[in-house]
Chain A
């Protein structure tokens, strides 16, 4: 499983957030002067204490709200199906079978199930839930529901996937498994990921760029690169490199929390 991913510094730009400011109700400053360039093929973790505006940043990128100031620019413009999202909750439609949940992004673009059946089933296979295509969400475990949500986000092969603490509610074992699978999926689909987390270890294991944010006002205070090759396996979790990166990220996070106080 070798993937042609350009070295970190040579990737073409995908999206740029410049001088983003977001104020709620006129006085709650969620983000102030946030700058972030996302390049194609990046796996970026947004790491920061809760309330520092991570979710707000994702919602701005997703176009669910407008920044008070500043601009978000997609190089080459944003096209249909360029974006996939995974929330903290699986957010499946309980009345729809697994395969129909995964079909949703296509369905809303007017594609019949028949037209996209192959993509749907193939994506379900990638997340290991092919056998459950006809199950209803309530028949699945929390981890399996999250896999369906990931399949739904990836089925259209979007250029960018936004994930807001998707594994925070899962137990450690499921989370490790999903971490591994997420990396494999990302390679299969070849998309860019922005992943919000407050777990230092998760961010180091998954990403090649960690963006540390501080609160009040929310902004980027530190960026560090995790220059360890993919595919990353369980061995990476126990390696000295991993420990060193984790220490670095952890220090940055502490610094972010001190700045905030």
Chain B
């Protein structure tokens, strides 16, 4: 009888433990969204309270309410600006993907090409783009192309370097298997190197998305509205000249919304490509 009792006690304690774990998980699932939202609300309320109580002039720090009002009032101006910046960013990212992939593949197909070109890719990357942008403006007649080039330079490197590493990180035994089965160069790239490189490429894409936006903003700042039309960054700059801080903050918020959206989209793409097979998407119990 006593043994049976002990058994029951044990079962119960296991149950309680399981329940505790489950409760903790439920709590975390809720907190993951509510906590940051709560932080945001607190922050905005604090900001509003500070501006109101300390009577901070709007040309020094606009209140959240004023920013929200400006966002609505200036929407007809901000929305096209956002589209403009978005177009520049997306195009730069697209070309960064195409260029980064093409160069990475050429690197892995020919060691000599890699030796000849890789140092210059690095130099292009480590030289601050703000310093290159004015030159681009001088040498490239079409200002939009200059802006695009500026954003491209920043965005393509993580794709290039990540994909290059990925293409080289194939399993040696699988390589041997492909050799034994007489795979062609193309088959090797298509069925072995490319899938091996996919997680690395997607990691690079996440970084490149953010960098493309930064590149676009820098291009707008330096090259100005001549080439890009009135984008969010040029709007922001002009608003600052006019001490229109409501609009400045509205543009700033939209830029970070774009950044978050790009990051979210890239994460989603990455998840969709990898969740079935890659370890990074594996849920541990």
Q: A164 — nearest CB in chain B belongs to which residue?
A: B173
* Interface size, B (range): 20 to 34
- Distance of A104 Cα from B183 Cα, bound (Å): 10
Near B by CB (< 8 A), chain A positions 67-120 give: 80, 83, 85, 87, 89, 91, 93-96, 104-105, 107-109
Bound-state Cα–Cα, A62 to B176, Å:
9
Residue B181 lies at the interface, judged by CB distance under 8 Å to chain A: yes
Given known pairs A85-B177, A136-B276, A138-B277, the reply for A91 and B171 (CB within 8 Å) is: yes
Q: Give A105's nearest chain B residue, CB to CB.
A: B181
Contacts of A93 in B (CB 8 A): 174, 191-192, 195
From A153, which residue of chain B is reached at the shortest CB distance? B177
Q: Are A80 and B180 in contact (CB under 8 A)?
A: no
The number of residue pairs between A and B whose CB atoms lie closer than 8 Å in the complex comes to 53
A35-64 CB contacts (< 8 Å) to partner B: 59, 62-64
Q: Which residues of B contact A (CB under 8 A)?
A: 171, 173-174, 176-183, 187, 191-192, 195, 198, 276-279, 282
Query: Counting CB contacts under 8 A, is A218 at the interface?
Result: no
A217: Cβ under 8 A from any B Cβ: no
Pairwise interchain contact A64-B174, C-beta atoms closer than 8 A: no
Residues of chain B within 8 A of A64, CB atoms compared: 176, 179-180
Q: A64 to B180: give the CA distance in the assembly, Å.
A: 7
Verify A95–B198 contact, CB threshold 8 A: yes
**A interface bracket (residues with beta carbon within 8 Å of B):** 20 to 34
> In the bound complex, what is the Cα–Cα distance between A95 and B176 (angstroms)?
18
C-alpha gap A62/B282 in the complex (Å) = 35
Task: Report Cα–Cα, A83/B282, bound state, in Å.
Answer: 35
Return 13 A-B CB contacts under 8 Å, by A number: A59-B176, A62-B180, A63-B180, A64-B176, A87-B173, A91-B171, A94-B277, A94-B279, A96-B195, A108-B182, A108-B187, A109-B182, A137-B277
Q: Decide if A91 touches B173 in the complex (CB within 8 Å).
A: yes
Contacts of B198 in A (CB 8 A): 95
Q: B195 and A95: CB pair below 8 A?
A: yes
* Residue from the list B171, B180, B276, B277 in contact with A83, Cβ < 8 A: B180
- Cα A101 to Cα B279 in complex, Å, equals 18
B277 and A91 form a contact (CB under 8 A): no
The CA-CA distance from A78 to B177 in the complex, in Å, is 17
- B173 lies within 8 A of A108 (CB): no
CB closest residue in chain A, given B188? A108
C-alpha gap A227/B145 in the complex (Å):
79
